[in-house]
Structures are given as structure tokens and as C-alpha cells.
Amino acid sequence: MRVALLSLALAAVTMAVGSASAAEINTGKELVAACTIYAAKDENALRDPDPCRRFLVGFFTAFKASDDAQREAMVKGLPSTAAPNCIRLPDFLSYREMAQRLVAYGKAHPSELSGAANDLAQHTLETDFPCPPR
């Protein structure tokens, strides 16, 4: 009985891992497709697990870590590895609004859809939220 329950639980975990990796977003085209669905969802449904939202959470987590590392290097006087384009994010940016911006950017720049999803997201930020001129 325990062996049957254990194998059933193992099968469920294997299926969950398989379906999670199947929803992985790699290209700009996949990102725009996922974010088109996410941006059109009802406000009450936005808390559901969603591939676009999961991508955005990971992207912004990495973005913040990179920004923190650049600031720390600057304070320590280390050489800068800053991105060539300065980005100034607003005080609040919802995942839904970012998804809408990604979709709009992807439609306006179809040549970038075959590239990496991270690049598309980065270029969206650089275009929509540039730093003010000095």
C-alpha cells in the first residue's frame, strides 16, 4: 500500500515538473504570446499561476540583483559593468501593465520576437523607461 502511494505521489510530481518545464518561456514570441493571454485576463484571475507572470517575477528579481551588484561595485570603486542604456523604473509598475507593455513592444518590433525573451523584456524597459537627460 505504501509503495503504491509512493509511486503515485512520484508520478504526480513528475507530471507537475514536466508541465512546468513545458510552459518555460525562451523566445520573445513565446513571451508575447503568454503575456497577451495574461494581459487580457480578468482582474480577479490575475493571482492564478501564469507563465507570463512567472517570467516577469524572475526577470525583475534578476534585474534587481544586477542593479544592486552594480551599485555595490560602484561604491567599492570597481569597474562598472552597467548596461549601456539607463533605465528609470516608475515607483509602481504592475505585472499586468508590464505584460501590456511587452505585448505592445513585441508588436512594434517583430524582428525581436525570434530573439531571447530576456532581451525583449530588457529592450521594453529601455524604450519605455529611459533615464531623463542629464
What's the pLDDT tens digit per position in 81-105? 655 678 899 999 998 999 999 999 9
The torsion angles phi and psi of 40, rounded to 5 degrees, stand at -90, -5
Cβ partners under 8 Å of residue 23, min gap 6: 51, 54
* Domain range enclosing 36: 24-128
Looking at the structure of the chain, the number of domains it has is 1
pLDDT of residue 4: 34
Q: Residue 125, class by beta-carbon neighbours within 10 Å (0-12 exposed, 13-18 middle, 19+ buried)?
A: buried
User: For the residues 116-131, what does the mean pLDDT come to?
Assistant: 94
pTM for this prediction? 0.74
Residue 17 inside a domain? The answer is: no
Residue 14 inside a domain? The answer is: no
Residue 133 inside a domain? The answer is: no
pLDDT of residue 11: 36
pLDDT of residue 43: 66
What is the chain's mean pLDDT, rounded? Answer: 79
pLDDT of residue 71: 82
pLDDT of residue 130: 92
Cα separation, 102 vs 31, whole angstroms = 8
Residue 4 inside a domain? The answer is: no
